[in-house]
């Protein structure tokens, strides 16, 4: 007899999670609560309600989390200019802590003693979901069916549906994309299929959010982005909510061939994985944010942020959003954004994002000092001689003691 009485399942309404819902009922003899999150994946989430009801689920949660996702997770991450392994903008990674947070909230609301997810035992998501769950509810039981059952193929899952009268649209399932995809307001990812060969080029019809750079318009698109405390609050003078900002940037960026990425990354569980990503809005945001910081941040603050960023990115990628170290770094990052206010003008053209203007009332750029023309004594060039000699002192001493540099 299972000691689990009620479990909250992260439920999409697709094949895997529909099987999991029934499997949990049978294997654990427990009540299942389904939770479906709308984080901008571009598909209707409401049909999940009818599918859950058909499985006998009585408590069904379907939540629109798009604004919270961008405001409380995507924007804070972009304040740090976060990139994992030099390229990946962490579109999947940053969604998991929000989904986990809401799962735990629902568990508390419904009196559930367990949570369940559909992540496999090979990937990063199992780690992200479970680290978050334990951080937010230490005594919770986590059920990961892919680590317990023997339904390890699509054929076995389909057979399970037939044996248990699970309502799945078999005709549409057979036409499914050959890729494993994950989408939210920040990105869409593709894995599996021919992508498992790192030498094989991704098929042109795989991409869903963007045109190829070759097919993008022949004339550039200009955008003016307004920042307040490191976050975009307006596009071309129109104030927008966080989710609407990202939606608009995705649409415009995708139309200009922005944001495609093909990488092999190092998963936290130890293996290498090839994935393709479309992050049009995020690609624009990263470029523009660095531009507004370039005129508003103190040099040492900017350099310190850059040195901390790889660790911050690794923390998010590996699933430690709710850890004390991430919160500590976030406090420092957010403090650095107090003066990151102003406007950035970008030019989008055939897959590229070019910064062509930046301005701020908090700018540290002083034209009188930086000019190549007559600065009227604003900067004494003779001061540079002592500055250089002092910085060279340790090297001069070492060379004088016979230590060779060549």
Annotated binding-site ranges: 10-18, 37, 88, 93, 118, 120, 124-125, 128, 180, 189, 265, 277
Q: Which of 38, 66, 79, 125 is catalytic?
A: 125
pLDDT at 177: 72
Task: Select which of 173, 180, 294, 363 is catalytic.
Answer: 180
> Does residue 96 have an active-site annotation?
yes
**Domains located in the chain, CATH noted:** 6-66+92-176 (3.40.50.620), 182-297+339-359 (3.90.1260.10), 367-400 (no CATH)
**pLDDT at position 138:** 97
pLDDT at 406: 84
Q: pLDDT value at position 405?
A: 81
pLDDT at 169: 64
Q: Quote the pLDDT of residue 176.
A: 62
Instruction: Name the token pair of 101.
Output: 């947070």
pLDDT on residue 25: 95
Contacts (Cβ under 8 Å, ≥6 apart) of 26: 164
Helix axes 280-296, 242-255, angle to 10 degrees: 110
* Distance separating alpha carbons of residues 224 and 237, to the nearest angstrom: 7
| Pick from 278, 184, 281: nearest CA to 223 | 281
Write down the pLDDT at residue 153.
Answer: 86
Question: What confidence score (pLDDT) does residue 173 get?
Answer: 43
Q: State yes or no: is 180 an active-site residue.
A: yes
CA distance 81 to 210: 22
User: Which residues neighbour 383 within 8 Å (Cβ) at sequence distance 6 or greater?
Assistant: none
Tell me if residue 262 is catalytic. Answer: no
Question: Catalytic one among 66, 79, 96, 260?
Answer: 96
- How distant, in Å, are the alpha carbons of 98, 366, 367 from that of 358? 33, 13, 14
Residue 366 has a pLDDT of: 93
Q: Quickly count: other Cβ atoms within 10 Å of residue 401's Cβ.
A: 7
One digit per residue, the tens of pLDDT, for the chain of length 406 reads 478 999 999 999 989 999 999 999 999 999 999 999 999 998 889 999 999 999 999 999 999 999 999 999 999 999 999 999 999 999 999 999 999 999 999 999 999 999 999 999 999 999 999 999 999 999 999 999 999 999 988 899 999 999 998 977 644 444 567 888 999 999 999 999 999 999 999 999 999 999 999 999 999 999 999 999 999 999 999 999 999 999 999 999 999 999 999 999 999 999 999 999 999 999 999 999 999 999 999 999 999 999 999 999 999 999 999 999 999 999 999 999 999 999 999 999 999 999 999 999 999 999 999 999 998 889 999 999 999 999 999 999 999 999 988 8
Q: Sign of the CA dihedral 61, 66, 69, 72?
A: negative
> What pLDDT shows up at residue 284?
98
The rounded distance, in Å, linking the Cα atoms of 46 and 37 is: 10
| 326 carries an active-site annotation | no
Question: Cα dist. 195→43, 189, 191, 208, 258 in Å?
Answer: 24, 11, 6, 16, 21
- Whether 234 contacts 226, CB under 8 Å: yes
Binding residues for L-aspartate: 120, 124-125
């Amino acid at each position: 007899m299972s000691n689990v009485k009620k479990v909250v399942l992260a439920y999409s309404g697709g094949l895997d999670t529909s099987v999991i819902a029934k499997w949990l009922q049978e294997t654990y003899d427990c009540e299942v609560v389904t939770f479906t999150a709308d984080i901008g994946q571009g598909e209707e989430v409401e049909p999940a309600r009818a599918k859950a009801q058909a499985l006998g689920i009585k408590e069904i949660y379907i939540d629109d989390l798009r604004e919270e996702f961008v405001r409380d997770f995507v924007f804070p991450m972009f304040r740090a200019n976060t990139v994992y392994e030099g390229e990946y903008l962490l579109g999947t990674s940053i969604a998991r802590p929000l989904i986990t947070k809401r799962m735990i909230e629902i568990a508390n609301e419904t009196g559930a003693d367990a949570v369940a997810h559909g992540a496999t035992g090979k990937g990063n998501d199992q780690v992200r979901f479970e680290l978050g769950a334990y951080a937010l509810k230490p005594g919770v039981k986590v059920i990961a069916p892919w680590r317990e059952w023997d339904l390890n193929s699509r054929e076995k899952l389909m057979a399970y549906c037939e044996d248990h009268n699970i309502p799945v649209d078999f005709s549409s399932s057979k036409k499914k994309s050959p890729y494993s995809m994950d989408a939210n307001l920040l990105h869409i990812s593709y894995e599996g299929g021919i992508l498992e060969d790192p030498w094989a080029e991704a098929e042109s019809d795989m991409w869903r959010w963007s045109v190829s750079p070759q097919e993008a318009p022949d004339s550039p698109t200009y955008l003016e982005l307004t920042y307040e405390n490191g976050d975009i609050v307006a596009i071309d003078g129109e104030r927008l909510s966080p989710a609407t900002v990202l939606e608009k940037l995705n649409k415009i960026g995708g139309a200009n061939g922005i944001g495609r990425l093909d990488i092999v990354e190092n998963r936290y569980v130890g293996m290498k994985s090839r994935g393709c990503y479309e992050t049009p809005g995020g690609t624009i945001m990263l470029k523009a944010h660095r531009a507004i910081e370039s005129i508003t941040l103190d040099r040492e603050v900017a350099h310190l942020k850059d040195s901390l960023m790889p660790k911050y990115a690794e923390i998010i990628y590996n699933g430690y959003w709710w850890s004390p170290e991430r919160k500590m770094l976030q406090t420092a990052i957010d403090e650095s954004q107090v003066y990151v206010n102003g406007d950035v003008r970008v030019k989008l053209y055939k897959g590229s994002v070019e910064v062509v203007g930046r301005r701020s009332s908090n700018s540290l750029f002083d034209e009188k000092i930086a000019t190549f023309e007559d600065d009227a004594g604003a900067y004494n060039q003779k001061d540079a001689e002592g500055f250089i000699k002092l910085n060279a002192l340790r090297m001069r001493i070492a060379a004088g003691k016979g230590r060779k540099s060549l």
